[in-house]
Amino acid sequence: MDLVTVNGLSKRYGGIVALSEAAFGARAGEVHALLGENGAGKSTFIQILSGAVQHDGGTILVDGQDYRPANPDAAQARGIAAVFQELSLIPDLSVEQNIWFRHEPRTWLGIVNRAEMRRKTLALLEKYDFPALRPEQELRRLTLAERQIVEIAKGLAKDPRILILDEATSALPAREAEWLLKLTRQLAAEGRLVIFISHRMAEVRAIADRLTIFRNGSTVAAHEAAAVSDDEIVTQMIGRHLDRLYPERVPTMTDRVALKVANLASGSRLSGVDFSLREGEVLGVGGLQGHGQRELFQALFGATKASGAIELWGRPAAIGNPRQALTGKDGIALVPEDRRGQGLLLTKSVRENLTLSVIKRFTENGLLSRQKEAALVKEMVDFLRIKAGTPEQLAGTLSGGNQQKVIFGKMLLTQARVLLLYDPTRGVDVGTKGEIFQLMRDLAAKGYAILFHSSDMPELVHVADRVLVMRNGRIAATLEGDHISEEEILRAAMLETRAA
Amino acid sequence: MSAFLARNRLIVLAYAGMVVLLLVTAMFSPGFLSVSNMRSTVVLAAFVGIVALGQTFVIIGGGIDLSVPWVLNSAAIVMALLCGGQDLPLVWVMPLLLAGGAFIGLVNGVGVAQFGVPPIIMTLATNVILQGLILVLTGGSPTPSAPALIQFLSVGRIGGFPVIALIWLALTLIATLLLSKAAFGRHLYALGTSATVAEFSGVPTARTTILTYIVSGLTAAFAGMLLTGYSGQAYLGMGDAYLFTSIAAVAIGGASILGGSGHYLGTVAGAMVLTILTGLLPALNLSSGALLVVYGAVILITVSIGSETFAGLGGRLRGRRA
Ligand SMILES: Nc1ncnc2c1ncn2[C@@H]1O[C@H](COP(=O)(O)OP(=O)(O)OP(=O)(O)O)[C@@H](O)[C@H]1O
Ligand SMILES: [Mg+2]
C-alpha cells in the first residue's frame, strides 16, 4: 500500500493557480522523484505536505489516514520532514543549535543539555557520513553549500519516515551532491520514503525508483523509473519535444580581448590569477568547489577587495565596488551565487527587481517614466518567459527557477558586455536550461564575453569554449578543444592538489 | 486602484485611523471640528510632519535618526542668538543653519555608511554632543525672542491658510516626488530591503544612506527655526518631544521600522493622528502623564499591526523555496 496518496490537490494564491488536481502516490522504501518545469507546483506541493502552507482542496492520505497538517510541527508528528533551503536556518546560531532548533535535548531542569546535543550531533553526522561540518561553527560563516548540508542534517535529526528534498543538490558541489545521492539510497534502504526534487536528470536517473511529473500544477504522469526514457520524461515535463539540451558550439571568438586579468589576488583564497577572456567567448571556470571560484567572480565584480590588474576592452579598469563594475558599456555584470541573499529583493516586485540596476535610464528630467519602464519590463518578461501573474508579483513568491530568470533579466538590462555567470542555471528546469545556454551562445555571437561557472560539470564541458580549472586559488590548467571533458577537469583539479 | 490599495494598505489604514480619531474627538469635544481648531491642529501636526520627513527617509533606508531633538533645538537657539530679534540677519542665518543641519546629517551618514557605526549609536552620540555644545554656548541663559519674519512663517496665514501648512504641503510634494518618481526612491527602498542586494545591483548604497541623514538634518533644523517662531522664543529641551513623535509618525504611517517600506504620505497621516490624540486627551480630562501612556499604546498597536503584516509576509516567503 502506498504510504502517501494524494488526490485532486489544489492551491491558489490570489489569481495564481499553483496546483490544480494534482495526484501523487509513493511507497515506503522508495526514492520518488518529483519532476516538472519551473513553476509547475513542486515546491507548493511539498510545502503542503510539510505543513508550511495549507491546501484549498483535495485529499492527502498518509498510512491510509486523512492528513492535513496545520503547521510543520504537525507534519513532523506524523513523521514528515522537508529540507528547505538556507532561509529556515538562523545565521546567529551555531550549526548544532540550528540542527536541533526547538528540539534541543534538555536536562531534567529543562536546560539545554549541551554535552548531549554535541554527542547527538556527532552521532548523526557520523551515521550518515556527513561531509566535514563543525558543530560549534556559527552558521553565518558557512557557504551556501555548507548551509544546505546543515539543512539536510536538520531534516534528518527528526528521524522522519518521509524526507522531502527540494532541490537539495542544486547548491552542492559535485562531491557533496554525490554523497547526498548515496545518502538518499541509504535512507530508502532503511525503509523511509524520500521524495526527491531536482532539475538534473542524471541525478534522478541515478537514484529514483519511481517518478511523478507535474505540469502547470497538475500531474501529467507517473512512471516506474526503469520503464521510461529521458526523452519521454522531458517531453512530458515541458509539453514539447526538446531536441537537445546543449546548443551547437560554433566558435564566435575574436582576437579582441574583453577582459584581461593579471596577478589577481584576494585574501588567502585567490592568488596570482592570470587569464584573458575574449570577445565572443564563453570561458568556463571549474575545479573542486572552494578553490577560489567564488572569490574570483566576486573580485572581478568589485564585491570583495582584491589586488592585481584588470583590463576591460583594452583599458585598465579600477573596480572598487559593484557600482563601478556595472557602469557603462565597458562594464561587467554578475549573476551572483546566492539569489535570495545577493540577487533579489524578495519583498519587491518583479518589475522593481528587473530595473533596479538601470533605473536611471528611465528618468527624464529626474522623473521616472513608468511607461518606459513597464515597456522594457514586459519585453524582458516575455523574452525570458518569466512565469509571474503580473510584473507586480513579489519576487519572493516566484518559483525558484523564475527567480533565477529575473536575476538573469536584471543583468541583461545593464549594458555590460562582460558577463560573470556564477551557476546561472541553478534550480532552472531542463527546457529553460537549454534556452539559457542558447542565450549564452547568442550573446557570445553578438560580441559579449562570458565567464561561466557551474556546479554541474557537464555544463562546462558542453557549453564552454575553454575551461579554466582552479586549484588552491590559482589556475591549475586551461583546457581547450578536445581536452575539455569531466575526466580532464577532475584530473587537473586533483593531480595538481596531490603534487602540491 | 485595488492594486494600489493592496500595496499601500497600511497607508490607507493610517488615513482611516485619522478620520475615525477625528470623529471620536469631535464627539468628546464638539468644537473640535471647527475651522479654527482644525487650523491649529494642522499647524501643530506640521512641526511633527516636517521633522518626520527626514526620519521617514532614514527609516525607509534601514536606519534611524535619534539626533533630531538637538539638531532642532540647536537650530532654534542659534537662530535666536544670531538674529537677536531682527529679521534682516535671517537672510544668512537661515541658509547657514540649514547647512549646519545638513552637516550634522552628513556626519551621521558618513559614520553609519563609511565607518559602519550602528545608526542608534551614531545619532545618539551626535545628539548628546550637540546638547553639550548648546549648553556651553548659552550657559543656560534665555535667548532673545524670535524674529517677526519667522513668526509669520509659523503662525501667519495666506488667504486663510496657515503659511506653515502650505510649506508642509510643498515639502510633502517634494518628498513624494523623491520617493515615488525619482531613481533615488528606488535606490532607497532597495537599500532598506537588503543592503547586500542593493550593493550587488549597483545601487550607490553609501551615498543613498548619507543623503537620508542629510535630509533628516535639514528638516530637523528647519523645524527648529519654525518652532521658535511658533513659541516666540527658543528654549532648552524644545526638541525633546520630537524624537518620539517623529519616529511614531513614521511607524503609524505604515513604514516597517526595519526599513524597505513606507511612504511620506503615510507619515503625514501619522503626524495628524499623533496631534489629534494630543488634542483628544485633554478633552477626556487626562493628564499629560496619561497622554504619554496613550501615545505609547498607540505606537505599540500600530507597529504590531504593521509587523504582523510583515511577519505574515516573512513567513510566507520563508515557506517558499527554490
Ligand atoms: N506565496 C505565493 N504568492 C503568489 N504566487 C505563488 C506563491 N507561492 C507560489 N506561487 C506561484 O505558484 C506557482 C508554483 O510555484 P512552485 O514554487 O510550486 O513551483 P516549482 O515547481 O517548485 O518551480 P521551480 O522548479 O522553479 O522551483 C508559481 O507560479 C508561483 O509563482
Ligand atoms: Mg521549487
Let me know if residue B40 belongs to a domain. yes
CB atoms within 10 A of CB A99: 27
Let me know if residue B319 belongs to a domain. no
Which residues fall within 8 angstroms of residue A190, CB to CB, at 6 or more apart? none
CATH number of the structural domain spanning residue B235? 1.10.3470
Cβ of A87 within 8 Å of Cβ of B318? The answer is yes
- Asked whether residue A187 falls in the same domain as residue A314, the answer is no
Let me know if residue B314 belongs to a domain. no
In terms of phi and psi (left: phi > 0; alpha: psi -120 to 50; beta: otherwise), the region of A373 is alpha
Average pLDDT over residues B190-215: 97
pLDDT score, position A108: 86
Q: Which three cell numbers mark A416? A: 555590460
Alpha carbon B83 to chain centroid distance?
Answer: 26
Q: Tens of pLDDT along A405-415?
A: 999 999 999 98
Kindly identify the ligand whose nearest atom is closest to the C-alpha of A165: 2
Return the residue matching grid coordinates 557520523: A126
Closest B-chain CA to A301: B200
Kindly identify the ligand whose nearest atom is closest to the C-alpha of A214: 1
Cβ of A414 within 8 Å of Cβ of B200? The answer is no
Q: Is residue B299 predicted with pLDDT exceeding 90?
A: no
Whether residue A36 has its Cβ less than 6 Å from ligand 1: yes
SS (H, E, C) A132-171: CCCCCCEHHHCCHHHHHHHHHHHHHHCCCCEEEEECHHHH
Let me know if residue A226 belongs to a domain. yes
pLDDT by position in tens, chain A (length 500): 789 999 999 999 988 899 999 999 999 999 999 999 989 999 999 999 999 999 999 999 999 999 999 999 999 999 999 997 656 788 889 999 999 998 888 888 888 899 999 999 999 999 999 988 899 999 888 888 899 999 999 999 999 999 999 999 988 888 899 999 999 999 999 999 999 999 988 999 999 999 999 999 999 999 999 999 999 999 999 888 887 889 888 889 999 999 999 999 998 889 999 999 999 999 999 988 889 999 999 999 999 999 999 999 999 998 999 999 998 778 999 999 988 899 999 999 999 999 999 999 999 888 999 999 999 999 999 998 898 889 999 999 998 889 999 999 999 999 899 999 999 998 888 888 998 999 999 999 999 999 999 988 899 999 999 999 999 999 999 999 888 999 999 889 887 544 44
Let me know if residue A244 belongs to a domain. no
Average pLDDT over residues B220-235: 95
Let me know if residue A248 belongs to a domain. no
Q: Which three cell numbers mark A318? A: 579600477
Q: Is residue B321 predicted with pLDDT exceeding 50?
A: no
CATH number of the structural domain spanning residue A413? 3.40.50.300
Whether residue A401 has its Cβ less than 6 Å from ligand 1: yes
* SS3 (DSSP) at B23: helix
Q: Tens of pLDDT along B91-145?
A: 999 999 999 999 999 999 999 999 999 999 999 999 999 999 999 988 877 778 8
Please answer whether residues A302 and A324 qualify as being in contact, where contact means their C-beta atoms are separated by less than 8 angstroms. yes
pLDDT score, position A125: 93
Q: Tens of pLDDT along A75-110?
A: 999 999 999 765 678 888 999 999 999 888 888 888
| Candidate ranges B1-15, B210-224, B273-287; pick with highest mean pLDDT | B210-224
Let me know if residue B25 belongs to a domain. no
Q: Is residue B26 predicted with pLDDT exceeding 90?
A: no
- Asked whether residue A287 falls in the same domain as residue A431, the answer is yes
Question: For chain B, what's the residue count?
Answer: 322
CA of A48 to the centre of ligand 2 (A): 13
C-alpha distance from residue B127 to each of A87, B47, B222, B243 (Å): 37, 19, 16, 10
pLDDT score, position B293: 83
Let me know if residue A172 belongs to a domain. yes
Of A189, A207, A238, which closes a domain?
A238
Range of the domain at B114: 33-305
Let me know if residue B74 belongs to a domain. yes
Question: Which residue has its alpha carbon closest to ligand 1 atom 24?
Answer: A38
Helix ranges (H only) for chain B are 2-7, 9-28, 35-60, 68-83, 90-113, 119-138, 148-155, 163-176, 183-193, 195-200, 205-231, 240-252, 264-283, 288-319
- Asked whether residue A293 falls in the same domain as residue A412, the answer is yes
Q: Is residue B2 predicted with pLDDT exceeding 60?
A: no
C-alpha distance from residue A264 to each of A260, A452, B297 (Å): 10, 18, 57
pLDDT band with cut points at 50, 70 and 90 for residue B322: very low
Let me know if residue B21 belongs to a domain. no
Dihedral pair phi/psi, residue B207, rounded to 5°: -60, -40
C-alpha distance from residue A84 to each of A28, A215, A344, B203 (Å): 21, 22, 18, 30
- Asked whether residue A191 falls in the same domain as residue A313, the answer is no
The full DSSP string for A330-353 is T-EEEE-S-IIIII--TTSBHHHH
Q: Which three cell numbers mark A207? A: 537514484
DSSP state of B223: H
Tell which residue, A199, A194, A229, has the closest CA to residue A214.
A199
Chain B partners of A85 at a C-beta cutoff of 8 Å? 321-322
Over the Cα atoms of chain A, what is R_g?
Answer: 23
Let me know if residue B193 belongs to a domain. yes
Average pLDDT, chain B: 89
pLDDT score, position A290: 83
pLDDT score, position B320: 40
Of A238, A268, A283, which closes a domain?
A238
pLDDT score, position A175: 85
Amino acid at B309: T
Of A210, A238, A266, which closes a domain?
A238
Instruction: Pick A396's closest partner by Cβ from B203, B261, B320.
Output: B320
B114–chain A nearest CA distance, Å = 13
Cβ of A368 within 8 Å of Cβ of B182? The answer is yes
Please answer whether residues A8 and A59 qualify as being in contact, where contact means their C-beta atoms are separated by less than 8 angstroms. yes
Please answer whether residues A444 and A282 qualify as being in contact, where contact means their C-beta atoms are separated by less than 8 angstroms. yes
Chain B partners of A348 at a C-beta cutoff of 8 Å? 189-190, 193, 260
Question: For chain A, what's the residue count?
Answer: 500
Please answer whether residues A137 and A94 qualify as being in contact, where contact means their C-beta atoms are separated by less than 8 angstroms. yes
SS (H, E, C) A87-103: HHCCCCCEHHHHHCCCC
**How does B2-12 read in b/e, with b if 16+ C-beta sit within 10 Å?**
eeeeeebebbb
- Asked whether residue A225 falls in the same domain as residue A264, the answer is no
- Asked whether residue A331 falls in the same domain as residue A431, the answer is yes
With the CA atoms of B7, B8, B10 and B16 taken in that order, what torsion angle do they form, in degrees rounded to the nearest 10?
Answer: -130
Range of the domain at A455: 257-494
Distance, CA of A87 to CA of A341 (rounded, Å): 9
pTM: 0.89
Amino acid at A221: A
Provide the domain count of chain A. Answer: 2
Burial of A372 (0-12, 13-18, 19+ CB in 10 A): middle
Let me know if residue A168 belongs to a domain. yes
Let me know if residue A499 belongs to a domain. no
Q: Is residue B319 predicted with pLDDT exceeding 60?
A: no
